[in-house]
Amino acid sequence: MRIPYTGPLPAPIIVPKNANTPTGAISALTNFLSAPRSPLVPSLPKSHGLTVLLTGAGVSVASGLADYRGTAGTYTLNKSYRPIYYNEFLSNHEARKRYWARSYLGWTNLHKAKPNNAHWAVRDLGKQGYISYVITQNVDSFHPMAHPELPTLELHGYLRSLVCVHCGNHLPRKEFQQSLSALNPAWADFLVKMLEAGALDSEHPDERRKKGLRSNPDGDIDVPGAPYTTFRYPPCPTCLAKPPMLPDGSQSIVQIDVDGAWSQHSTAGVLKPAVVMFGESIAASVKMAAEEAIDSASRILVVGSSLATYSAWRLVKRAKERNMPIGVLNIGGVRGEESFYTAPQADSDGSSGVRCSESADKVLPAVVQNLPYRCAP
């Protein structure tokens, strides 16, 4: 289940000690990725044994997107922020109105954002034979865009499409955005004016706050005082054409108003983003794929994540239990990081474990330059 950790995070533990500068971090990460397989890790098939990458919102900050717990993250600057939870989304029509209105405003900037140097460096590390698999908590689709040939598991889903909670039908977000514009002409005019004024040019919370907006991750734009209750959204077109049977065996009802918006008298046809919302369980197949990726690797490198969600933290815990060397490249503290490293590692060269607090988009490209091509073991 995707549940946010709200406790305080520790100060970063720098490992090895000389990884406290960009140059030192680059050297330590180079040693970490190129080190031979640890004899403490359970034996693996010959085709396996490379590094598995686990990434979080911090890796997309250089693409202009907001994160949760970075130096300018939502939880850092907006202590009262609370994301919508799955049960609330399912049960509350007004909550869905609010969610889709804010998402409607934020989608334009999210849709035009592109992968940054960190994503391209991951691509190159895969090509050079150092990374075998990427598990990402991000829902921006930047990893599969940047390196479609490198296997990527989107642990928390993706925003590029929607899914019906009743029939399972998928719908492209671009098509849904057009429907929202048609159903909400006043909001569409408001969005055009915001874009023309440059109000959405940056997702940096301080810049947005100066313009009277609150910016949150995953394309969420909050306009204080906005009439969210007026916002309308369409039903699942599949359910509208053929209302499905409900779990209790009864026939569902899918109704629309004169303009085609979902009616609160409906009992089906609710679309949600194809992401794992907070409080929602991750599909068993996704959990299994993530665990298999960990078990097939010889080491793990965490990039741009504080591991504040249990679904990500448990994977590093699993790696630790398998005696896998752990690397972390993240600005700021990481949940449970004090348990990842031992005292001798602090004086090593980074091959047995590394922890640095640097920007991935600046450090990873330099690591790529340091590493020669090699064949997978």
- Measured between alpha carbons, how far is 249 from 258 in angstroms, rounded to an integer? 29
- Measured between alpha carbons, how far is 103 from 286 in angstroms, rounded to an integer? 25
HSE (side-chain half, CA atoms, 13 Å) at 296: 18
- Measured between alpha carbons, how far is 49 from 132 in angstroms, rounded to an integer? 8
Judge contact between 253 and 240, C-beta under 8 A. no
What's the pLDDT score for residue 8?
A: 74
What's the pLDDT score for residue 367?
A: 98
Name the pairing type of β-strands 354-356 and 170-172.
unpaired
- Measured between alpha carbons, how far is 205 from 214 in angstroms, rounded to an integer? 7
Provide the residue-wise pLDDT of the chain in tens; the chain has 377 residues: 666 666 678 889 999 999 999 999 999 999 999 999 888 888 776 556 699 999 999 999 999 887 655 555 555 455 566 789 999 999 999 999 999 999 999 898 888 899 999 999 999 999 999 999 999 999 999 999 999 999 999 999 999 999 999 999 999 999 999 999 999 999 999 999 988 888 776 666 566 566 667 666 677 888 888 999 999 999 999 999 999 999 999 999 999 999 999 999 999 999 999 999 999 999 999 999 999 999 999 999 999 999 999 999 999 999 999 999 999 999 999 998 988 887 666 668 999 999 999 999 999 999 999 999 876 44
Helices (H), 198-260: 205-210, 237-241
Judge contact between 245 and 252, C-beta under 8 A. yes
Among 311, 282, 272, 233, which Cα is nearest to 91's?
272
- Measured between alpha carbons, how far is 225 from 223 in angstroms, rounded to an integer? 6
Residue 82, CA distances (Å) to 74, 210, 216, 231 in order: 10, 21, 10, 21
Residue owning tokens 């068993």: 284
Helices (H), 303-375: 310-321, 360-370
What's the pLDDT score for residue 219?
A: 75
Neighbouring CB atoms inside 10 A of 113's CB total 17
Neighbouring CB atoms inside 10 A of 111's CB total 14
Judge contact between 34 and 352, C-beta under 8 A. no
What's the pLDDT score for residue 334?
A: 94
DSSP state of 248: T
Residue owning tokens 């609150």: 214
Indicate which residues carry an active-site annotation: 156
Beta-bridged to residue 251, according to DSSP, are: 245
CA atoms 65, 68, 72, 75: torsion sign: positive
- Measured between alpha carbons, how far is 210 from 291 in angstroms, rounded to an integer? 43
Among 272, 214, 208, which Cα is nearest to 239's?
272
Using alpha carbons only, give the angle 200, 205, 209 rounded to the nearest 5 degrees. 75
